[in-house]
Amino acid sequence: MRFNLTSLIAPGQQATILFAGTNKFGQNIWLDNISISAQNPRVNDLELSLANAVPYSCNTSFPVSLKLTNKGNVIADSAVVILSNSIGNQSVKISNLKLQAGRDTTIIFPLAGQPGSFSTTAYLATPDENAGNDTARFLAQYAGNAALPYQTGFDNASASYPADWIQLASFGSPWRLSTQNGIYGTGALGFNNSGLPIQTATAVLPQMVLAPDIDSLIFTISTAATSSSDELSLSILTNCGQTSINLQTLLPNAADPAASGTGQFMPAPNHPWRLHRIDIKPILDNIGGGNFQLALHGRAVGGTNFYADNLKLIPVRIPQALKDKGYGIYPVPVGNQFSIWHLRPPTDLRGVSIFTATGQLLWQQNFSGNAPQIIRVNSTAWPQGVYLAHLIYQNNTVVEKLVK
């Protein structure tokens, strides 16, 4: 047991310490290792610590807040604090800091932003009586910016992590670029958990802006996994990471049931990768659009690895004519192939017939409530000319002129 008697004994006062014991159970009570000591306050003791959470920025400037506390009993009138980071050997110095005993102050260091994560150290230029609290080390992270469409196949063999991504809330450092485990035998983003306990980490993409004229924003990614216990989920971050909205769990719901095992899993070239496709535009609309980031949350508990590859964010703009009529035929004029698009699933479409200008039937397809939203037509053998497409719905028929 340890007791602080400072508040019970006045300075200069003599005191006697007594031990009183009461025993009601017929057993002995023993005391040992009794120690009484006084600690003299340090004269010069400045403590340097991180004032905010792990620094995270989405702007070109990178303010880092540090807290300087005078724990000594004299005025500190010439303190010098230096902050440096591991990228470009950037160093910032703040000199002649004055601080009363028992007081603290916040120091703001304006660093230049650079996408990625970099180790940062702040320290007192002249150590004091307690050198153990003169240094603050942390991982500063700057989320870069990227334009849509955005895609990556993780094929940068010289990097251990995508340069414009950052990694948050990691137990261990499992996210790593793999140079040969991708779908096509090239790069992939791997979650390394071979033979290790539970690991969690969040990989965050660069900040992007959704333009107001985009109708859909399609996110696709392919995954390869063997353990049904591994988890990979997707979320949207707004306000530079301050707000998170969960979207969908990609694993284990889509884990590969045909493969199993633990340890150093590496997908073979013919491994059955799973493709995931999500339209995130409705979620962005609900939160007001604007700047956003995507985050991949990995959690491996199966003692094996899993991989992601071919990540894409593709904006889709729907032609105004398709919005107005509910259907459209593209491209115009048609080529060797063209498509009949519907804005909504055409459950009332009963058939499509295409005729020459003289009435000869060239192509026909019938449906019973199961028509796809995109109907593709191969017109390679058709000569140049004018054609008529009949779209036969349950209650009406629409005729569109085609030119090849």
Q: What is the CATH number of the domain that holds 228?
A: 2.60.120.200
Q: Do 196 and 247 belong together in one domain?
A: yes
Which candidate, 116, 105, 127, 87, places its Cα nearest to that of 49? 105
In angstroms, rounded to a whole number, what is the distance separating the alpha carbons of residues 167 and 361? 59
Output the pLDDT for position 290.
Answer: 77
Output the pLDDT for position 173.
Answer: 61
**Which domain covers residue 336, as residue numbers?**
320-403
Q: Do 191 and 285 belong together in one domain?
A: yes
Q: Are strands 337-342 and 327-330 parallel, antiparallel or unpaired?
A: antiparallel
User: What's the order of all strands across the beta sheet hosting 337-342?
Assistant: 327-330, 337-342, 374-378
In angstroms, rounded to a whole number, what is the distance separating the alpha carbons of residues 116 and 131? 31
CATH number for the domain spanning 91: value is 2.60.40.10
Q: Do 310 and 334 belong together in one domain?
A: no
Whether 12 maps to a domain, the answer reads no
Output the pLDDT for position 258.
Answer: 45
User: CB of 328 within 8 A of CB of 319?
Assistant: yes
Whether 33 maps to a domain, the answer reads no
User: CB of 75 within 8 A of CB of 101?
Assistant: yes
Q: Do 132 and 158 belong together in one domain?
A: no
Q: Walk along the chain (404 residues) in steps of 10 and give the mean pLDDT of each run.
A: 74 77 70 72 81 68 82 84 68 81 85 70 84 83 87 80 74 73 81 72 88 92 80 86 76 48 67 87 84 87 79 92 92 92 94 95 95 95 95 95 95
CATH number for the domain spanning 375: value is 2.60.40.3080
β partners of residue 335: none
In angstroms, rounded to a whole number, what is the distance separating the alpha carbons of residues 219 and 247? 11
Q: Do 67 and 186 belong together in one domain?
A: no
Q: Do 312 and 324 belong together in one domain?
A: no
Whether 343 maps to a domain, the answer reads yes
3-class DSSP assignment, residue 282:
helix
Whether 250 maps to a domain, the answer reads yes
User: CB of 247 within 8 A of CB of 235?
Assistant: yes
3-class DSSP assignment, residue 8:
helix
CA 143 vs CA 56, 203, 204: distances in Å: 7, 11, 8
Q: Do 91 and 235 belong together in one domain?
A: no
Whether 4 maps to a domain, the answer reads no
Domain limit, last residue, from 287, 316, 345: 316
Output the pLDDT for position 157.
Answer: 65
- The helix or strand, by DSSP H or E, that contains position 295, with its residue range, turns out to be strand 290-300
Output the pLDDT for position 10.
Answer: 73
Write the CB contacts of 392 (distance below 8 Å, at least 6 apart in sequence): 349, 350, 351, 352, 353
User: CB of 25 within 8 A of CB of 39?
Assistant: no
Domain limit, last residue, from 258, 285, 316: 316
Whether 384 maps to a domain, the answer reads yes
- The helix or strand, by DSSP H or E, that contains position 324, with its residue range, turns out to be helix 320-325
Q: Do 249 and 351 belong together in one domain?
A: no
Whether 23 maps to a domain, the answer reads no
- The helix or strand, by DSSP H or E, that contains position 337, with its residue range, turns out to be strand 337-342
Which candidate, 14, 17, 304, 314, places its Cα nearest to that of 147? 314
Domain limit, last residue, from 261, 288, 316: 316
DSSP state, 344?
A: S
How many structural domains compose the chain? 3
Whether 291 maps to a domain, the answer reads yes
Q: Are strands 349-356 and 386-393 parallel, antiparallel or unpaired?
A: antiparallel
In angstroms, rounded to a whole number, what is the distance separating the alpha carbons of residues 178 and 154? 8
For the chain, give the longest Cα–Cα distance: 120
- The helix or strand, by DSSP H or E, that contains position 284, with its residue range, turns out to be helix 281-286
Q: Do 257 and 330 belong together in one domain?
A: no
Q: Do 176 and 286 belong together in one domain?
A: yes
CA 255 vs CA 152, 188, 226, 229, 258: distances in Å: 22, 17, 6, 9, 9
Q: Do 296 and 190 belong together in one domain?
A: yes
Q: Are strands 104-112 and 91-99 parallel, antiparallel or unpaired?
A: unpaired
Q: Do 155 and 130 belong together in one domain?
A: no
DSSP state, 6?
A: G
In angstroms, rounded to a whole number, what is the distance separating the alpha carbons of residues 226 and 179? 19
Tokens representing residue 49 in the block? 């610590």
User: CB of 384 within 8 A of CB of 368?
Assistant: no
